């Protein structure tokens, strides 16, 4: 089981014409349910972690398998699943705890795929996470919609601009990564849990524009994770002061 913390950090406007916050009208709670959504609805999607090969047909490494297709030639049985239900057009920070599942244990390295839908399946390309040498600890994911139906989950990268000049990081597959030897799971002191900054683009069922991606793009890729880290550090310091 993957331990997951979902932290909602910033909300863009999701109020109806009467000024009241929109209710969650979406009754689809499985990542494989096809649905259309409005701003303010909850939206369920899945995140699979496994080897890169597990997301493709066994005899065809160019054909990606949808996690909801149950294709008999897929290798998805070897993956681990996390399920999230953020609100549409809210900027969210998802934290995946690596204490239970470490991607570097998946063969040549761990990868992640974001997905939703069955008949109207939307599946991201596999995103590298970690191997025995490096861990990526922060990613940006955009869920792109067309009139309320998910079209594509997109991994966004800044090409390692966020860690330029920082000797603690190296650039791996266009993302900032930390050497695995510094992670707690490998005897180091760093918490190498994965943070995913989630935003939205496109339009909802009523053609309202989903614009949280543009807000986070202006803030910078790692700002939410830094905010989360500072918050947790502050809470930890308050806790230690209270009990000591």
Sequence-distant (6+) residues with CB within 8 A of 29 are 44, 85
Question: What whole-number distance in Å separates Cα of residue 100 and Cα of residue 82?
Answer: 12
Vertex 35 angle, CA 15 and 63, to 5° = 130
Say what the pLDDT of residue 218 is. Answer: 66
Residue 166 has pLDDT above 50, yes or no: yes
Number of domains into which the chain is organized: 1
* pLDDT > 50? residue 10: no
Bridge partners, 156 (sequence order)? 140
Q: How confident is the model at residue 241 (pLDDT cuts 50, 70, 90)?
A: very low
- Say whether pLDDT at 229 is over 90: no
Of the ranges 114-118, 134-138, 168-172, 223-227, the best mean pLDDT one: 114-118
- The pLDDT tens digits for 150-163 are 999 999 988 888 88
Query: What is the Cα–Cα distance from 204 to 82, expressed in whole angstroms?
Result: 24
The three-state DSSP-derived secondary structure of 160-174 is: CHHHCCCCCCEEECC
Q: Enter the DSSP assignment of 51.
A: -
Q: Is the model more confident about 150 or about 212?
A: 150
The residue with greater pLDDT, 74 or 103, is: 103
Residue 69 belongs to domain spanning:
3-243
> What pLDDT digit, counting tens, does each position of 13-52 carry?
444 444 444 589 999 999 999 999 999 999 999 999 988 8
């Amino acid at each position: 089981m993957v331990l997951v913390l979902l932290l909602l950090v910033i909300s863009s406007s999701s109020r109806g014409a009467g000024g009241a916050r929109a209710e969650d009208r979406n009754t689809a709670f499985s990542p494989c349910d096809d649905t259309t959504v409005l701003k303010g609805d909850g939206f369920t999607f899945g995140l699979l972690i496994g080897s890169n090969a597990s997301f493709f047909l066994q005899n065809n490494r160019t054909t990606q398998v949808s996690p909801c297709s149950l294709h008999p030639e897929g290798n998805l049985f070897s993956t681990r699943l996390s399920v999230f239900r953020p609100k549409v057009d809210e900027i969210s920070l998802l934290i995946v705890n690596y204490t239970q599942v470490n991607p570097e244990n998946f063969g040549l390295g761990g990868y992640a795929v974001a997905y939703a839908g069955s008949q109207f399946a939307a599946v991201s390309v596999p995103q590298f996470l970690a191997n025995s040498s490096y861990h990526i600890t922060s990613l940006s994911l955009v869920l792109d919609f067309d009139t309320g139906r998910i079209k594509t989950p997109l991994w966004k990268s800044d090409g390692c601009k966020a860690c330029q000049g920082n000797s603690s990081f190296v650039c791996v597959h266009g993302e900032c990564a930390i050497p695995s030897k510094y992670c707690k799971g490998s005897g180091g002191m760093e918490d190498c849990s994965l943070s995913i900054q989630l935003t939205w683009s496109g339009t909802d069922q009523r053609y309202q524009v989903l614009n949280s991606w543009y807000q986070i793009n202006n803030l910078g890729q790692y700002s939410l994770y830094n905010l989360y880290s500072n918050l947790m550090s502050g809470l930890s310091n308050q806790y230690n002061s209270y009990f000591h």
